[in-house]
Amino acid sequence: MTVIDEMGKASAKAQNLPAPITSASRMQTNRHVLYILMDHDVKGSGKGAVIGFLKVGYKKLFVLDRHGAHNEVEPLCVLDFYIHESLQRHGYGKELFQHMLQSERVEPHQLAVDRPSEKLLCFLRKHYNLKETISQVNNFVIFEGFFANQHAPVRKLLPKRPEEEIKPYSLTDREYKKQKS
């Protein structure tokens, strides 16, 4: 079991989740980014100790704006955030979150947050003045201002092609196309 697995288990326990949502194997199979905050000065460990982590990634979401209109977007999402219980309320969470915001070049109100705990909502309210949420039907939370500068953190989705008649694609079609090119 890796340090990432251990921290994922601790995060799940802290959030009362039935299973971890962050693990080394999941990190290998998706395109999420894991920011890890380390204390390199821990005596006796040789390698230092992990203080906490923040996992972010782009997700395709259908979200409602203040007027109830549906929007298909792909924003940067906060997927998991954990600071070891013994080190909370020491400024490490803010340090880690601020580093992610700078690295990703995004403002806090432009993020979508997956199933935020009450602790995370309080953290965002205290440090980033994110108070007004826009209710969603999925498990994500977005904040007032999410749609203000949507172009910055949101990947543009390609427009859907017009629906055409589905044409059969036989083996002879494939062979012909290979020979032609």
Domain containing residue 50: CATH number:
3.40.630.30
User: Annotated binding site for acetyl-CoA, which residues?
Assistant: 81-94, 117-126
What's the domain count of the chain? 1
The reply to whether 87 falls in a domain is yes
On whether the CB atoms of residues 81 and 54 are closer than 8 A, the answer is: yes
- E strands, 7-161, are 33-39, 49-58, 61-64, 70-73, 76-83, 112-114, 133-134, 140-143
- Tell me the residue type at 77: C
Rg (CA), the chain: 21
Q: What angle do CA 148, 153, 157 make, to 5 degrees?
A: 95
Binding site as annotated, residues:
81-94, 117-126
pLDDT in tens, the chain (181 residues): 788 889 999 898 998 888 889 988 888 888 899 999 998 776 665 677 889 999 999 999 999 888 888 889 999 999 999 999 888 899 999 999 999 999 999 999 999 999 999 999 999 999 999 999 987 889 899 999 998 865 444 444 444 445 555 444 444 444 444 444 4
Domain housing 102: 3-143
The strand pairing partners of 36, in sequence order, are 53
Does residue 118 sit within a domain?
yes
Task: Establish if 167 belongs to a structural domain.
Answer: no
Establish if 107 belongs to a structural domain: yes
Q: Is residue 65 part of a domain?
A: yes
Task: Tell whether 178 is covered by a domain.
Answer: no
Residue 174 domain-assigned?
A: no
Alpha-carbon gap, residue 80 to 56, rounded angstroms: 7
Please check whether residue 51 lies inside any domain of the structure.
yes
